[in-house]
Structure formats: C-alpha cells, structure tokens
Structure 1
Amino acid sequence: MIRAIFFLFFIFSTLQVKCQHDNFFLGNDYFFNIEKKILTNDINHHISFKPLVKSDFNIDYPNVLFSDINQTQKKSWLYRKLFLEHLFVYNEENYNIYCSPIFDLTLGREKLNQQKIYTNTRGYIVYGNIGQKISFFSSFRENQAVFQSYLRNFINEKNVVPGQGFARRFKDVGFDYAIASGYVSIRPSDLFVIQFGHGKHFVGDGYRSLLLSDNSFNYPFLRVQTSLGKLHYTNLFAELQDISYFATNSIENVDQMGYPKKYMSSHYLSLNLFENLNLSFFESIIWRVNHAPGNRGFDVNYLNPIIFLRPIEFSLNSPDNVLIGLNAKYKINYKSYAYSQLILDEFSLNDLRKNNDFWANKYGYQLGFKSYDILNLDMTSFQIEYNYVRPYTYAHHNPQQNYGHYNQSLAHPLGANFSELVSIVRYKYKRLGFQLKHIIAKYGSSFSNNTVSYGNDIFMSTGDYAETQGLQNIGSGRPSDFGIEMYQGNLSRLNYTQLNFSYLINPHTNLKFVLSLGKRTLKDEESENISDYFTFGFKSDLFNNYYDF
C-alpha cells in the first residue's frame, strides 16, 4: 500500500488539490454529527451504503466535527496538536497528507473472579489527496488485550477477536492481534468513484445490518460507485477467507498453505423514489474456488457489473450462495426517519402458504426508527430497532459458501434463528458525551456435545455435507425439512446494557477519555453467564467493535 501511494505521488504530482475522495469513518460515535448534518441539510442524498465518500456531500466536515467547540482563541502548538489538529499536516499545491497516532488504552475489571481487563492499542492513520481526482488512506493498529470472560470464550472458540482478525495467545489469558486497512480512491468524473483496498462496508441505516455489515474482519475489495441523480449504483467485489477450512479437512502441509479463498460479488441499487423516500435493492453472491487441477477456478461470470445475478447463477447450474434484499428509508422530517430491511436467502412461496415451516424459507427483516434533538434538546439522538432472522439464513449446505468471513457473519453477529431489540440514547454537550445502549435478544443455539444444526451457527452445514465429504466440525445438518420453528434448539436469552461517559479530546481522531459500565446476562437451557464490568481510559473511537452479543 505504501509503495502504491508513493507511486501515485510521482505520477500525479502536477495536479492541484481541491477535492477529498476518501471516506468518512464507519464508527457510530464519529458519524453522529455528520449524519445529523446530512439529515438536516439534504433530502436526496444516498447514505445507506457506507463508508460514505466525502466528496459526495457539500458539507464542511471539519467544522461539523468541531460543533460547539471553541477554536477561535489563540492556542499553543502543544494544545492545538492535542485538542484541535492532526499531529502531522503537510499541504502543497499538488497534494496533502494528514497523519495522527490512534490509541485504545483502557483498563478495567470484571466482577466475575475480579479479573483485570485491559486493551493496549497503538496505531496510526494516514490519509491525503493527490491532485483533484485521487485520495488515499492507510491505518494500522497493534493490540494486546485481556477481555471479559464471554469474549475470551468466543475468541478461544473462533480464533478471532470480534471484527479484528486472528488472535494469538498473550501471557495467560490475553490475546495479541493486529489490524491493517487502506485504500486508494479515484474519481475520474462526477459520475464515478473507484476504490480498491482492504477494509469493511456497511449497508443500511440502522445500528445492525441484515445485508452487509462491518461485523467481520477486513477484506480486499474493489468498489465502483455510479451516481446519476436520484439513482445511485454500487458494485462491490471482495475476496473472503475461510479460516476454519483446515479444521474440517485432513490436508497435508497445512502449515505451508494460506487460508482457502472465496469471493463475494455484491450489487446495490439505491433509488430516491420521492422527496422523502429511498428504496434500495441488494444482491450478493458467494462462491468458492477449488484450486485443484481440473476443478473450478475463479468464475469471471460473477464480475458482471449489472444487478440481479440470479439468472447467471441458474444458467451456470451453480451451487453458489445468493442473497437478495431490500433497504428502505422514509424521512419523517429533517430530524427523524424510519428504516427497514428485508433479506431473502432461499424462499418457497408454496410452502409458506402451506404454513409447514419449511427449513429453506430463510429470510429476515429489520424495522427501526431514529430521531435527533429529541425533546428539542440539541445534540441528542434516540434509536430503536428490531431485527428478526429465520433459522439457517446465511448458512449453506457447504459451510465454505456461507455468508461469512474470518469465522464471523458478514451480516449480524448473532448469525440466524434470533430476534433482537436494540435501543440507544446519545447526548453530546461540547466535549462531553453520554450513551446508553440496551439490547434484548432471543435465539436458539446448539446444545453441547450435539452435532445437530438448529440454524443459529451459520458455519454449520444445513445438510449432510460432512457425512458425504468425510469432513468434521461442521455439524450433522438440520433435524428435519419441515416444522422448523424460531428459537429451536438451546433457547438462549441475552440482556446487554452499556453506559458510557466520555470527554472528547481531539475530534479529528475522535480521541476521548471514556468511562464505561456494562452488564451482560446470557441464560440458556444449560447454563447462565453473567458479566459485570467497568473500564476507563483513552480511546480513538473511529471504528466499530461489536462486543454486544
């Protein structure tokens, strides 16, 4: 990535810098002021495919980040670098560069066994512009952490830190992990933006997404965005990895092989039908590559940039995994909107009419509402959201073709076979911040020492693939074809509450001092797990880490 950036410096050094085609960060807290500004100023913007490109919006985003913060008084160099500016800024006629360190230095304790918990993250962000048409971004974070007990259990089972990649053991109960991301963004004309790099994306207007979220780890991608007034079209091509493959297959020389690859081709068509109504169509296909001689390799048919790949899949007699969905948003006024999603994996209308609970009726939906300046109190927001996903949605007969990456779902962290209610209240006053988040969820998981898949774990086979292929650790399939009910299996109830108080130090990196109090209770038919904890420290809150499951 660094070599590519310097190469672009050389090639385009004669251009002048005017536009920024890099992205806004995905972090929900960072995005708070920006979304409010877009919502209050504009009606016809397409903002459901994230991260958003800065040059798509006519807003002075640095001033938006510094809302209610005094910048007029003369300050010392040290004060400005700590509280008002990037650490390093280099501006020339042809290009500019911004660079800052980022941190997550937090310490706390979990009540269970009085376990000390902490996160020690050091990293950087670098971004800039070359001429009028090219922008770039790069980030890196090195981490050591000791997590709450339920997160340690998850990491030990999945071998990944949620959304942050492969975990290596660190001392007795800690983990060491690193995260790198970056991209180059090119805008050849007002109609197109082309981005390629390594990162995440989010489709939707809610806290969760049932279509595509930033829940899993970063992946290599190519994104092509086309803007035609009320129509906005996005192509996303990505390379995903199945890091559990070697645990299910007996293969020699595993230590000399990289993780098997699979690919995702997604299309997103956003339409502003009316002044206040946006309706978007989503389609995504997952296909794997068999690198053995004489077997199927990379399928160029799925590079078709036109939406609706289902006919191509049928014409190829394809065994691949296709999902289609809808995203809708209705702007009630300049402060509030309602939103929804629908995801269809497989669907049989005939069986739905028979009401026979056919296993392959795999779908989910989302309903939500969000409002700013509630009770006429400036810089507040309230959000409530309901998510519902049927068993086996996102899963596949061959788990290598599920809707997952790096042992996590590409959509919702709970997988499938669940319902969830999320409510979030936020308030900001100058540099002070407050957030209360409460989540109630119910889902049907697998039983201990039972290989049957009840539809929650998308990395378990939906059929007899393990038996026919001689594989292991992917389950023995579904219990039946009909009579598949919501929450079947080990009925689990989740109650999660988190309260955050913060003081914003530097808006450019969203560096803040945070005091966090949390309580998580998970009760199923076999056990009960309670985690009470608190943490405090300094955090650059630019990226979403979903620990609320």
Structure 2
Amino acid sequence: MLPKVHMLALLTIGCLLCTCQVQAQSAGRQYSLGFYQPVSDSTNYHSSLRDYMVQPVFALPDDTTKKRSWFHRKLFREHLLEFSGEDYEFYASFLPDLQVGHTNRNGTTWLNTRGVVAGGKIGDNLTFYTEFYENQGKFPKYVDEFGRANHVVPGQGEWKDYSNGKAFDFAYASALVDYRAGKHFNFQLGYDKNFIGDGYRSMLLSDVPFNYPFFKIVANVGRIQYTTMWAQFIDMRYPKASYDNGYRKKWGVFNYLDWNVSKKFSAGLFGGVIWQDSDSLGKRGFDMSYINPIIFLRPVEFSVGSSDNAILGLNLKYAVSRNSAVYGQFLLDEFKLSEFTKGTGWWGNKFSGQLGFRSNNLFKVANLNGLTEVNAARPFTYSQRTSLNNYGHYNQPLADPLGANFVEWVNIVDYRYKRWFLRGEVMYAHYGLDTANTNYGKDIFKSYYTRTQDFDNKIGNGLGTNLLYLQGTLAFLLNPKYNLRLETSVIARRESNDLGRTSELIFQVGLRSTFRQLYYDF
C-alpha cells in the first residue's frame, strides 16, 4: 500500500526546512515535535490530553542584565501589554500573519491576518485567554478548491467572497476559561479545539476542524486522569430546519481515562457519542441521559432507543528512553466479528488505527526532533446515516483530515538553534476517491446508505489515488511570547491517479505570529 518506502525515508532526512519549535515542561498546543517530552518517568504526567491553556515556553539566552529600550523589549521579549499584581496577571498582543507567495497553479497568493490575543490569571486558580482574527487571503489552488467545495477555510470556519471572487474573507475567535478546584479537578469552558493522542494526527479526537463550544471536567487522582467533555458541533451539509435557527447542530459527549500503568507505559480508554440536535418540530436536543460524567456511554446510547453514533478507542504510549516513545491508537466505530472472520470486506466493519515513533534530541543533538507515524481508516469509518450523526464538524472530520478509506505515512523533523528554526515534512497517502454516483467511503459526510457495495470494501477502493506532500520552512524568531517570526517556506504537492496528475509548487514568505495549529497537509 506504501510503495517506494525507501525513497520517502531518504526524502525525510533531506527535507529539513521549517516552522517554529517550542519547548515546555507540560502539555499544551503542539507547535513542534519537541513540545511533548516523552519522558521515561511519566508517573504524574499525562501527555495524550492536550491542554490548550498552557502556552509554549521558549528557552532563549538570558540578556536581562542588559538595559533595553521599551521598543526592544516589546518587539523581542514581551507582550505589547503586560500587567501583574499580587493576585492577578494580564497580557495582550497584536497578532499579525502577513504572507505573500506564488504557486504554479494559482499565481500570486497572499494572506492578510490581523489578530489580537488577551489573557491572564486571577488568583491562583482562574486562568483565561481569548483570541480574535480578521482575515483575507488568496490560497494555493488545492486549498482554494477545498474551500470552495466545502465552504470553509481549513480549520478556520466559513468564508465569503473577496477581491471579485478570487480570495476569501473570514473571521473567527477562540476563548477558554480554566478553573482549578483544588489539586484534583480542573473545569474548562471554551470555544476552541481539542486533541487526544501522542502523535501528529489523532484518530480519536483532533484539532483539525473549526472551533466549537465545550465544557470539560478533568480529574487527576494518582496515576489516573479522567476527562469528560460535552460539546456542540455544526453540520453545514444537512438542510437547515429554519432560517432563524441557522445551520443544524449536533451534540457530542466524550470520556477519556488515561492511566500511567508504570513509569514507561500509559494506556488511555476513549468513548464518545454524537447525536443530532432538535429539528423544526422541537425533537431531541441535548439529551440529559448523557449528563452523568462517569457513566458508560454505550449502554446509555442503547437504552434511549436511538442509534446515535457511538465510538470506542484506545491510546497507548511506551517510552523506550527518556527522549523517545512508541505510541498508537485504535478506534472502533462498528464491528461484526462473524463478518470479520469471513474476510468478506463487509462495509460495516469500520475502524481506524495509528502507529508512530517520536524522539527528541536525535543522535544526541540538542533540539533535533523527529517523528514518523502511519495512520489508516477503513472505508465508511466515522460516517453515519446522515451528516447529522457523523464524526465531523464544519465540513471537516473530527479525526484525520483525510477522512476515511486511506492510509498515510507522516514524517517530520525539526531543529532549533538559538532563534533559528527548521522544520521538514514528508507525507505520503493512498486513498480511494469517488467518481460520479459512487460512494466508496472516503467522504465521511456522505450517508453510508448510499454505499456502492456491501462487500469487498478495502482501503483504496474507488479511484485509487496517491498523494505526496513535501514542506520545508525556515524561520527566525523575533518574540517568543507570541511566536512573532520571519518565515519562508516551500511546499510541493502531487496528487495522481488514473485520471491524471496534479502538481503544485508553492513559495511563501511572511511575518507571522500566534501558536495556532492549522493543517494544510492534505
């Protein structure tokens, strides 16, 4: 399924141009491979649940002994506004993301983003932040085609026409409030993203799609961390119930139990249910049956007489050394053992998985990090009877951006030297696309009732397609507080199948900031 593996391995070693790497001692947003330390002693450290309240900490040379001007400090060391007192902290900064580039398929590309961030702490237990972005941009052709087909900018919500239909105009915001109740409980109320896993992708719950509202409870007791989250998602595909109600809504509840079995090994058990919100007749809505944070979801889903979309998953990690870890995931959507043992490729056996390896300080070189992982999903995994019950939000999957009916191999290397950052990525994928009036299970927003066949379903069915994605970026960090940097990148993307081959070469330079994780490698 993955031909020319040896060639891709060489490309991985050779492709060492990059965005930013950051280092931190606790979980947070993944902006570099070195951000998560796969320490061998993980007794009280849970790396698989990403905490978006934690901001990355850059380790830069200390020059505080030198007297610096206000302008120098604000440009290179501090937020634009910083206030602190005995029991409070506050910061705010302007977040530019200004890029210009060129692609052989869409001519000149550009991005004009003006953002602001504000956050702080009140007392010892209450932390908060909020961000807002106003954007206009003309994207590479493959991103532009995705946006026009799905009516969203990847990970950033809905757009409207700009520059006579040649570009997109879009805006979005995020916010999170975290309250720590003693040493055992955290309560989070947010409009943001979530991620479960130790890899670059997540087959359980990822930060690929747009923001959504959620309420989360995290409990830490000894070596166990238990999380329950309730969230509301948007379905843009299903017809609106009424103009006043806007897009159709759906609800999700997720439980995740992470157990550090030993100093080296951790295991996480994941469960979730997606169900549709009320329709024009006022049916359903938020189901109080799912309000209990410690209940087993599958029996509840069955007891309410519904066929909601219930999923189960497993996350595993083993630290082979202080700086290296093997990790994996398995998600079960639907399964029938009798059909599986027959080997008939029954459409209803829907599952996905991940296997990866990551290491920091490769070859004993400080700040040189690497990751390689394989992800795969059988046809129709994450799909449902309608898009109102599928595992998606704002026309993007809640797991891997490739949806289902795919296998991919992702390789990333990054390196930091003082304020210089390098990052390289090689991604190869094989998947099956649909042609006219067919459904081979890649598009999770299509109803599985429209499937082309019941049996002989395997990865690559349909229009077998290969995708090769290469990216290299070089960046110079200006201000570590909000990741202000000068950046240049080169992207090569090639998609090929029996109908032809499409290649795109993209060059970009810009002044960038923020710690957003946006995925364009699809």
Output the TM-score relative to the length of structure 2: 0.92
- Partner residue in 1 for 2:68: 75
Matched positions, count: 496
Amino acid at match of 1:146: K
Contact 2:43–2:262 (Cα < 8 Å) also in 1: no
The answer to whether structure 1 residue 120 and structure 2 residue 112 are counterparts is yes
| Equivalent-residue separation in structure 2 for 1:100 and 1:376 (angstroms) | 36
Contact 1:44–1:276 (Cα < 8 Å) also in 2: no
What pairs up with 1:459-538 in 2 under 5 angstroms?
Answer: 459-463=445-449, 477-538=450-511
Offset of 1:175 from its aligned partner? Answer: 0.2
SS of the aligned residue for 1:326 comes to strand
- Partner residue in 2 for 1:438: 426
Offset of 1:512 from its aligned partner? Answer: 0.9
Amino acid at match of 2:198: D
SS of the aligned residue for 1:65 comes to coil
Of the three residues 374, 384, 389, the one matched with 1:386 is 374
- Partner residue in 1 for 2:36: 35
- Partner residue in 2 for 1:287: 275
CA-atom RMSD in angstroms: 1.8
Of the three residues 257, 260, 267, the one matched with 1:269 is 257
Amino acid at match of 2:36: E
- Partner residue in 1 for 2:332: 344
| Equivalent-residue separation in structure 2 for 1:307 and 1:375 (angstroms) | 46
Higher helix share: 1
Deviates most, 225-234 or 283-292:
283-292
- Partner residue in 1 for 2:186: 193
| Equivalent-residue separation in structure 2 for 1:24 and 1:309 (angstroms) | 27
Offset of 1:428 from its aligned partner? Answer: 0.3
Amino acid at match of 1:454: Y
- Partner residue in 1 for 2:9: none
Identity of aligned residues (%): 38
Of the three residues 386, 392, 398, the one matched with 1:398 is 386
| Equivalent-residue separation in structure 1 for 2:171 and 2:53 (angstroms) | 26
Note the residue ranges of structure 2 that are not aligned, 5 or more in a row: 1-25
Contact 1:225–1:235 (Cα < 8 Å) also in 2: yes
- Partner residue in 2 for 1:212: 205
Amino acid at match of 2:345: D
- Partner residue in 1 for 2:47: 47
The answer to whether structure 1 residue 104 and structure 2 residue 90 are counterparts is no
Q: 1:335 to 1:67 in 2, by over 3 A?
A: farther
| Equivalent-residue separation in structure 2 for 1:539 and 1:309 (angstroms) | 42
- Partner residue in 2 for 1:468: none
Offset of 1:307 from its aligned partner? Answer: 4.8
What pairs up with 1:293-442 in 2 under 5 angstroms?
Answer: 293=281, 295-442=283-430
Contact 2:159–2:169 (Cα < 8 Å) also in 1: yes
Q: 1:334 to 1:43 in 2, by over 3 A?
A: farther
Q: 1:481 to 1:160 in 2, by over 3 A?
A: same
SS of the aligned residue for 1:28 comes to coil
Note the residue ranges of structure 1 that are not aligned, 5 or more in a row: 1-22, 55-60, 464-476
Contact 2:326–2:358 (Cα < 8 Å) also in 1: yes
| Equivalent-residue separation in structure 2 for 1:526 and 1:257 (angstroms) | 42
SS of the aligned residue for 2:470 comes to strand
What pairs up with 1:2-13 in 2 under 5 angstroms?
Answer: none
Amino acid at match of 2:190: G
What pairs up with 1:52-201 in 2 under 5 angstroms?
Answer: 53-54=53-54, 64-68=57-61, 70-112=63-105, 115-172=107-164, 173-201=166-194
Amino acid at match of 1:26: R
Q: 1:43 to 1:229 in 2, by over 3 A?
A: closer
Offset of 1:524 from its aligned partner? Answer: 2.2
Offset of 1:66 from its aligned partner? Answer: 2.8
| Equivalent-residue separation in structure 2 for 1:457 and 1:68 (angstroms) | 48
Offset of 1:453 from its aligned partner? Answer: 1.2
Output the TM-score relative to the length of structure 1: 0.87
Contact 2:42–2:263 (Cα < 8 Å) also in 1: no
User: After superposition, what is the alpha-carbon deviation per residue over 1:456-484, rounded to whole angstroms, capped at 9, x for unaligned?
Assistant: 00000100xxxxxxxxxxxxx11222211
Deviates most, 218-227 or 74-83:
74-83
User: After superposition, what is the alpha-carbon deviation per residue over 1:310-358, rounded to whole angstroms, capped at 9, x for unaligned?
Assistant: 0111112211001110000001111111100001000111111111111
- Partner residue in 2 for 1:58: none
| Equivalent-residue separation in structure 1 for 2:482 and 2:429 (angstroms) | 32
SS of the aligned residue for 1:112 comes to coil
- Partner residue in 2 for 1:5: none
| Equivalent-residue separation in structure 2 for 1:166 and 1:368 (angstroms) | 33
Amino acid at match of 1:274: S
SS of the aligned residue for 2:388 comes to helix
